[in-house]
Amino acid sequence: MKLASQYNKVNLFISLIVLILTGVIYYVVIHFILTEKLDRDLRIEEDEISSYAKSYRKLPLPADFHDQKVSYRLVKKKDTNGRKFSNCVYLNEKENEKEPGRSLVTYLQVNHQIFEVTIIKSRSEAEGLIKIIFLISLVIIAFLLLALFLINRFLLSNLWRPFYNILEQIKTFNLSGKSEINTELTKIDEFTELNEAVSSMSQRVKQDYKELKSFTDNASHEMMTPLAVINSKLDTLLQTEGFNDQQGELIEDIYLAVGRLSRLSHSLLLLAKIENNLIKNEELIDLKELLNQKSRQFQELIQSNEISISLSLEEKMVSMSKYLADILINNLMSNAIRHNLKSGQIKVLLNSERLVFSNTGIAETLDQTRAFERFNKTNSSEGMGLGLAISRQICNLYHFKLSYRYEKGEHFFTIEF
């Protein structure tokens, strides 16, 4: 979830809670004020009845007005409980319907007789007013939430634009490219600091990359020259005579070690070039023709290991460097041969969606999290552990997906186009 969306969600939720609590408090206060007003009116009516009884020594006639009702009942002293306010429902005889009311029950002594005086005032108007206030509050809450939503969605999105702009440039930042990160002027201090930090960091990273690239290129080229000289001298030395068996073995070990070091240097240089997209010259490659060609080239090695190979190939054209396509197929084919069993088998499947190499091998799955890491290899492997890493980098360069799985004694390497 995006930061702006999360902020909007939290902001709206908190605003809703605050508005609801405010509305409840407002409703309770208004209800209390209106109830107090009714109680005050009831007390005034009680005082008028009491004053009338003292003046005329009798109670006024019971009355039943539009919004008020007064009634008397003769009681005994033991039945008196003191004055009491309460909500009630009474019958409005004029409207002939029941209405909510607020009642005051009090007791008066007139001519040595005790009367229970019940004064009821209608709460209809008060309840109606409360309902109107409640509906108005709901409308205001809904309006405020809508306003907050629109403000957060449009105004805050505009405020966050510099952040998303710099984020998008970070995503598309390419060390090998010449484009620079262009920051957007903003009045927000935090975004200004972020822009300055990202610009400074990109400059440092580019400078470090240039220095590292220069060192890698120079080191690789400088290594290739002495290695070529050593190979040449060893070839000359091997052609001379007069070596005993022990000396011949030592020279052979040196020759093999130098060859391994030369291949390692070449592989690391190739990885650096692939990662930095320094190999161009893309063209349409016919994978079916290339796979048939590689199967013929590896035929002697396949036969020497008594391995059977079956090809199921459909037409498939891809746009990539011919040099890298050759390396990719070479790595996968040699990997299937090198890690196979005696009298094992290799299957190659090609269609419009994927290329699959499957081979018999050790009855143990590879660690899928490390299968394509550099220098990762099994104990029985004689390689340098860079073949699959190079293959993964080539696939990433052209947005292919290289994956591995083990199933029923066979190892599968799949490239999805």
Residue 403 burial (10 A CB sphere; 0-12, 13-18, 19+): middle
Q: CA 174 to CA 191: how far, in whole Å? A: 22
pLDDT-derived band at 416 (thresholds 50, 70, 90) equals very high
**What integer pLDDT is reported at residue 220 of this predicted model?**
67
pLDDT-derived band at 60 (thresholds 50, 70, 90) equals confident
Q: CA 45 to CA 42: how far, in whole Å? A: 5
pLDDT-derived band at 383 (thresholds 50, 70, 90) equals low
**Residue 388 pLDDT more than 90?**
no
* pLDDT tens, residue by residue, 17-37: 888 888 788 888 888 888 888
**Residue 3 pLDDT more than 70?**
no
DSSP 8-state code for residue 241: -
Tokens matching residue 63: 């009355």
Average pLDDT of the segment spanning 1-9: 70
Mean pLDDT of the chain: 83
Tokens matching residue 292: 């048939």
**What integer pLDDT is reported at residue 347 of this predicted model?**
94
* pLDDT tens, residue by residue, 222-263: 777 787 778 787 777 777 766 777 877 787 788 778 777 777
**Residue 379 pLDDT more than 60?**
no
Domains of the chain: 1-146 (3.30.450), 189-274 (1.10.287.130), 281-416 (3.30.565.10)
Residue 359: name the closest of 294, 408, 293 by CA.
Answer: 408
**What integer pLDDT is reported at residue 378 of this predicted model?**
65
Q: Which residue has the tokens 């692939």?
A: 274
More confident residue, 326 or 182: 326
Dihedral sign from CA coordinates of 354, 355, 360, 361: negative
Average pLDDT of the segment spanning 193-203: 86
**Residue 178 pLDDT more than 70?**
no
Q: CA 176 to CA 174: how far, in whole Å? A: 5
**What integer pLDDT is reported at residue 208 of this predicted model?**
81
Is there a contact between 42 and 85 (Cβ–Cβ < 8 Å)?
Answer: yes
pLDDT-derived band at 413 (thresholds 50, 70, 90) equals very high
Q: CA 362 to CA 31: how far, in whole Å? A: 83
Question: Alpha carbon of 10 to those of 5, 6, 143, 161: distances in Å?
Answer: 9, 6, 18, 20
**Residue 180 pLDDT more than 60?**
yes
* pLDDT tens, residue by residue, 93-117: 777 788 888 899 998 888 888 888 8
pLDDT-derived band at 380 (thresholds 50, 70, 90) equals low
pLDDT-derived band at 288 (thresholds 50, 70, 90) equals very high
**What integer pLDDT is reported at residue 381 of this predicted model?**
60
- This prediction has a pTM of 0.50
* pLDDT tens, residue by residue, 312-342: 999 999 999 998 999 999 999 998 998 888 8
pLDDT > 90: what percent of the chain? Answer: 18
**Residue 369 pLDDT more than 80?**
no
**Residue 167 pLDDT more than 80?**
yes
Distance of CA 340 to the CA centre of its chain: 42
DSSP per position, 74-142: EE-GGG----EEEEEEEEETTTTEEEEEEEEEEEEEETTEEEEEEEEEE-HHHHHHHHHHHHHHHHHHH
**Residue 162 pLDDT more than 60?**
yes
**Residue 301 pLDDT more than 70?**
yes
More confident residue, 193 or 256: 193
Question: Alpha carbon of 182 to those of 98, 152, 205: distances in Å?
Answer: 75, 26, 16
Q: Which residue has the tokens 């650096």?
A: 272
What angle (nearest 5°) sits at the alpha carbon of residue 124, between those of residues 121 and 125?
95
Phi-psi region of 82 (alpha: psi -120 to 50; beta: other; left: phi over 0): left
Residue 48: name the closest of 111, 119, 115 by CA.
Answer: 119
Q: CA 199 to CA 312: how far, in whole Å? A: 52
